[in-house]
Amino acid sequence: MKFATKTIHAGIEPDPSTGAIMTPIFQTSTYAQEGSGNHKGFEYARTQNPTRSALEKNLAALENGTDAICFGSGLAAMDAVMKLLKPNDEIISTNDLYGGSYRQMVRVYEPFGLKPKFVDMSDPKSVEKIITKNTKLLWIETPTNPMLNIVDIEKICKIAKKHNILTCVDNTFASPYLQNPLDLGADIVLHSATKYIGGHSDVVHGCLIVKDAELAAKLHFIQNACGAVPGPMDCFLILRGIKTLHIRVQRACENAAIVAKFLKKHPKVSSVNYPGFKSHPGHKIAKAQMRDFGAMVSFDLKSDSFENAQKVLSNTHLFTCAESLGGVESLIGHPASMTHASIPKEERMKVGLTDSLIRLSIGIEDVDDLIEDLEKALEQI
Ligand SMILES: *Cc1c(COP(=O)(O)O)cnc(C)c1O
């Protein structure tokens, strides 16, 4: 089955009791048993829920995995992966990791004895250099936020295999439509389904996808034992969002390419981070491992100042100033004061995250209107 067909059909059957075409929202905490242990495969809704099961089958198909495990948020999904580790295990991740993932590794799991280390993962040699016998997990994110750096998934996974280390790829920014890390050798794929998979900015949700039965069993065990499960209504909304994933992301990518070109030519813009440009250091890798270059773009202003960035943000009308990404509507953000405010300025500047960097999540509106909106806002500085 091809991707566009999977989004609509994988894991989805008309409801056997009524013929309902859409998977019902099974809003129940428990299920009748004919006698103790004699049931229809569902005992208690932390353990199994039919709406969630349909979504898990669908997500597994989208990432070419065998099992998906759903959680109440992307960070709850990550939390389950952390629980595969033991005190003194080392994690290697990228130095421009999503802030929430960094916070969980450092502020929640370091006190429990896990040892996260951060390097520039776009350089695989620097990863291999710091591997020790205690390294148990390589945590990959690509493209990264907000600098849009690209990590070579296949290369990093090869290094991991050589040293018998587990790999997890946070595939949130790309979505399964653009990139399938299991096919490139990864063990686990993570999504914040809050973003492109849900696609409508109306639900917080996360998932893991794997293709190894033993790993799936461990993660299912953690999901049930720790209980960070999503509700059936949220699973229904994610299933509904997925039906248009391919056309949403396709259009958003088309719009992003046009907006990136417009910004690059703009006299008030000093640089544009977009992996679709040949001049982007990760362009070749992105071209090889992604189907398109994504719909996230960040750019910097020539008049490098906090105030001018704020002026742009407060003068767009279609681009709403907000956290998050991946919805049908375009969003604009200022990483230095929003998503990355907790990172010291010196650290931020090292990766090019200046006071005037602006991040865009390009939606699926008419691109002419998006450009007009940015043009007018840039006139204000
Ligand atoms: C949003 C996000 C997360 C966290 O997901 P939540 O659903 O907000 O918990 C993790 N990784 C990336 C790249 C994200 O953008």
pLDDT computed for residue 304 by the predictor: 81
**Measured between alpha carbons, how far is 163 from 113 in angstroms, rounded to an integer?**
21
- pLDDT score of 211 more than 80: yes
Q: In whole angstroms, give the CA distance from residue 318 to residue 311.
A: 15
> Does the active-site annotation cover 348?
no
pLDDT (tens digit, 9 = 90+) per residue, 155-208?
Answer: 999 999 999 999 999 999 999 999 999 999 999 999 999 999 999 999 999 999
- In this structure, of 35-44, 108-117, 168-177, 338-347, the range with the lowest mean pLDDT score is 338-347
In whole angstroms, what is the distance from residue 63 CA to residue 230 CA?
20
Testing ligand 1's pocket by substitution, the residue of 98, 142, 324 carrying the most ligand atoms inside 8 A of its CB is 98
**Token representation of residue 71:** 């959680």
171 lines ligand 1 (CB under 6 A): no
Q: 124 with 153: CB under 8 angstroms?
A: no
Tell me the C-alpha distance between 310 and 355, whole Å: 10
Residue 86 exposed, middle or buried by CB count within 10 Å (0-12, 13-18, 19+): exposed
Q: Is 73 a pocket residue for ligand 1 (Cβ < 6 Å)?
A: yes
For ligand 1, the distance from its centroid to the CA atom of residue 29, given in whole angstroms, is 27
Pocket test for ligand 1, best of 105, 141, 189, 195 (most atoms within 8 A of CB): 195
- Is residue 44 part of the annotated active site? The answer reads no
Residues of the chain above pLDDT 70, percent: 100
Q: Determine the 3-state secondary structure of 34 from DSSP.
A: coil
Q: Which residues contact 178 (CB under 8 A, 6 or more apart)?
A: 249, 253, 290, 291, 292, 294
What is the CATH code of the structural domain delimited by 246-378?
3.90.1150.10
| Residue 195 bears catalytic tag | yes
Rounded CA-CA distance 68/205 in Å is 13
Report residue 8's pLDDT band, with 50, 70 and 90 as the boundaries.
very high
pLDDT at 349 over 90: no
Confidence at residue 348, expressed as pLDDT on a 0 to 100 scale: 84
The tens digit of pLDDT for each residue in 128-159 reads 999 999 999 999 999 998 999 999 999 999 99
Which residue has 């958003």 as its token pair?
A: 252
| Cα–Cα distance for residue pair 128/126, rounded to 1 Å | 6
Mean confidence (pLDDT) of the chain: 96
pLDDT of 347 above 90: no
Q: Domain 3-242 class?
A: alpha beta
DSSP secondary structure code for residue 111 in this structure: T
Domain with CATH 3.90.1150.10 in the chain: 246-378
Q: Measured between alpha carbons, how far is 72 from 127 in angstroms, rounded to an integer?
A: 31
C-alpha to C-alpha distance for 222 and 69, rounded to whole angstroms: 10
Q: Answer yes or no: 366 catalytic.
A: no
CA distance 116 to 260: 34
Choice among 31, 46, 57, 117 that is catalytic: 46
Residue-wise pLDDT tens digits, 114-128: 999 999 999 999 999
C-alpha 36 – ligand 1 centre gap (Å): 40
Give the pLDDT of residue 151. Answer: 98
The owner of tokens 């349909």 is 54
| Stretch(es) of the chain classified as CATH 3.40.640.10 | 3-242
